[in-house]
């Protein structure tokens, strides 16, 4: 079987890459092993335009946000689902210093920030001592609904191989890619944490970190907002909320831990005034990067081997934009933003390739 492109992985990156390949008229096959503990499936799906203790704008958010809104709207329309909703972030300040940081940032530039009209607005639901601010607009992407619906589309069109990708079965020449019975012009890896051990891109500066979250039943919490105070509380399903997440740089495996459960349960008891019940516990390894910038483009020495990875915690806003940019690069040789382009690591990739 011959296709224009083989896509490895059907997380948020592989899904949007496949969608844009199809829109560009390029044929493809996705190879993805069905697994539950993936970063895309365990993520809350939050798009937050403000980041860090200094409340600075998220990198490229002024471009990413309108692009993402249009992309999720269009793909949802084609799939017959609604997969994104505006849910502003109620940010409860955990300390006086964080309150001051918010107010200072608001004075300097109030874009994406809103001061409350009533400081006691959430007293019946939360304990908080230092007030709160609102980040708006915030958005919540239903990743599980999106990935499941797109997977059905791939299955129905015979564009998915539900199988583990075996690197040893890949044969690369200057003219084409061969993988078992498949022949393609290109192969693009959207394999999440698997990218850190990829034979072509494994020496990129990945910085894997582990995240955990609880799924919690909270029947008396008003829907329509994301709540944040050290941890985030975001809608998951009806009366269920995603509560997390941790950022662990040292970890033994990708399994849920009792320590996280206990810490998070204690934090919720201190914060929430309404009853809750823990019904689930998720964990996964994120494909983050040392620079906190994604890896997008093609290997400097193997021009038909590409990567779309390294989105870290910002995958919901980054993946649509850079999947589109990568497809435009394939079709029209248009440039990839240098801060994200994998060509910035040409020396590293070249040396590692010859050393192997």
**pLDDT interval class at 218 (50, 70, 90):** very high
pTM of the model: 0.94
Residue 208 DSSP class: -
Per-residue pLDDT tens for 263-305? Answer: 999 999 999 999 999 999 999 999 999 999 999 999 999 999 9
Q: In the chain, what percentage of residues exceed pLDDT 70?
A: 98
Q: What are the extents of the domains in the chain? A: 2-42+144-204+290-355, 87-139+207-286
- Kindly report the average pLDDT of the chain as a whole number: 94
- Out of 2.120.10.30, 3.50.30.10, 3.30.420.10, 3.30.9.10, select the CATH number for domain 87-139+207-286: 3.30.9.10
| 214, 244 Cβ separation under 8 angstroms | yes
Query: What Å distances lie between residue 326 and 18, 115, 190, CA to CA?
Result: 11, 39, 12
What would the two tokens of residue 285 be?
């390894």
Residue carrying the six token digits 């793909």: 75
Which are the contacts of 138, defined by CB distance < 8 A and separation ≥ 6?
A: 46, 47, 48, 49, 86, 87, 88, 89, 226
CA-derived radius of gyration, the chain: 21
How far are the Cα atoms of 8, 178, 198, 279, 309 from residue 166, in angstroms, in the given order? 10, 12, 11, 35, 18
Output the DSSP codes for 87-144: --EEEE-SSHHHHHHHHHHHHH--TTEE--S-TTTTTTTB--SS-EEEE-S-EEE-HH
User: What are the start-end ranges of the H helices in the chain?
Assistant: 12-23, 39-42, 61-79, 96-108, 143-156, 258-271, 315-332, 346-355
Least confident of 51-60, 192-201, 327-336: 51-60
* Per-residue pLDDT, 353: 54
Find, among 289, 287, 309, the residue nearest to 297 by Cα.
309
Q: From residue 45, give the alpha-carbon distance in Å to each of 13, 128, 140, 236, 243.
A: 13, 25, 5, 9, 12
pLDDT in tens, 300-356: 999 999 999 999 889 999 999 999 999 999 999 999 999 999 999 998 888 755 444
User: Residue 34: pLDDT band by 50, 70, 90 thresholds?
Assistant: confident
Cα 182 to Cα 196: distance, rounded to the nearest angstrom: 24
Mean pLDDT of 71-99: 96
In sequence order, the 6+-apart residues with CB closer than 8 A to the CB of 261 are: 214, 278, 281
> How high is the pLDDT of residue 352?
57
Give the pLDDT confidence score for residue 127 in this predicted structure: 97
Pick from 226, 269, 271: nearest CA to 88: 226
Per-residue model confidence (pLDDT) at position 179: 97
Class of domain 2-42+144-204+290-355 (CATH, top level) = alpha beta
Closest CA to 240 of 221, 218, 213: 218
Helix 61-79 to helix 12-23 angle (10° resolution) is: 70
pLDDT digits (tens, 9 = 90+) for 128-183: 999 999 999 999 999 999 999 999 999 999 999 999 999 999 999 988 999 999 99
Q: What pLDDT does 174 receive? A: 86
- Cα distance between residue 294 and residue 176, in whole Å: 26
Query: Which pLDDT score, from 0 to 100, does residue 354 have?
Result: 47
Give me 211's structure tokens.
């995240």
Q: What is the pLDDT of residue 11?
A: 95
Residues constituting the chain: 356
CA 12 – CA 310 distance, rounded (Å): 11
Tokens of 59: 């990198």
Report the pLDDT averaged over residues 220-249.
92
Q: How confident is the model at residue 52 (pLDDT cuts 50, 70, 90)?
A: confident
**Tokens of residue 292, six digits:** 């906190």
89 phi and psi, to 5 degrees?
-100, 120
């Amino acid at each position: 079987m011959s296709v224009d492109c083989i896509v490895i992985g059907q997380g948020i990156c592989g899904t949007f890459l496949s969608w844009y390949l199809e829109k560009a008229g390029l044929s493809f096959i996705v190879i993805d092993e069905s697994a539950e503990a993936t970063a895309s499936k365990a993520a809350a799906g939050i798009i937050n335009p403000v980041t860090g203790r200094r409340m600075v704008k998220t990198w490229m958010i002024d471009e990413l946000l309108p692009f993402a809104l249009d992309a999720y709207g269009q793909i949802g329309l084609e799939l017959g689902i609604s997969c994104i909703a505006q849910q502003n972030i109620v940010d409860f300040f955990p300390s006086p210093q964080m309150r001051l940081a918010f107010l200072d940032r608001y004075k300097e530039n109030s874009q994406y920030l809103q001061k409350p009209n009533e400081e006691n607005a959430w007293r019946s639901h939360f304990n908080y001592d230092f007030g709160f601010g609102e980040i708006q607009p915030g958005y919540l992407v239903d990743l599980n609904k999106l990935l499941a619906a797109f997977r059905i589309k791939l299955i129905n069109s015979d564009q998915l191989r539900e199988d583990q990708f075996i690197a040893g079965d890949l044969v690369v020449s200057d003219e084409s890619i061969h993988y078992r019975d498949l022949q393609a012009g290109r192969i693009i890896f959207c394999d999440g944490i698997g990218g850190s051990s990829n034979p072509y891109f494994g020496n990129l500066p990945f910085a894997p970190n582990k995240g955990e979250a609880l799924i919690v039943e909270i029947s008396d919490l008003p829907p329509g907002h994301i709540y944040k105070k050290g941890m985030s509380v975001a809608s998951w399903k009806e009366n269920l909320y995603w509560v997390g997440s941790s950022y662990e740089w040292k970890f033994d495996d990708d399994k849920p831990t009792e320590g996280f459960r206990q810490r998070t349960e204690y934090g919720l008891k201190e914060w929430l005034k309404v009853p809750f019940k823990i019904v689930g516990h998720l964990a996964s390894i994120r494909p983050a990067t040392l620079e906190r910038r994604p890896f997008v483009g093609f290997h400097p020495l193997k021009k038909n081997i590409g990567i779309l990875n390294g989105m870290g915690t910002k995958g919901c806003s980054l993946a649509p934009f850079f999947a589109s940019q990568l497809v435009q690069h394939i079709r029209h040789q248009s440039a990839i933003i240098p801060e994200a382009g994998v060509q910035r690591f040409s020396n590293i990739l070249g040396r590692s390739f010859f050393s192997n």
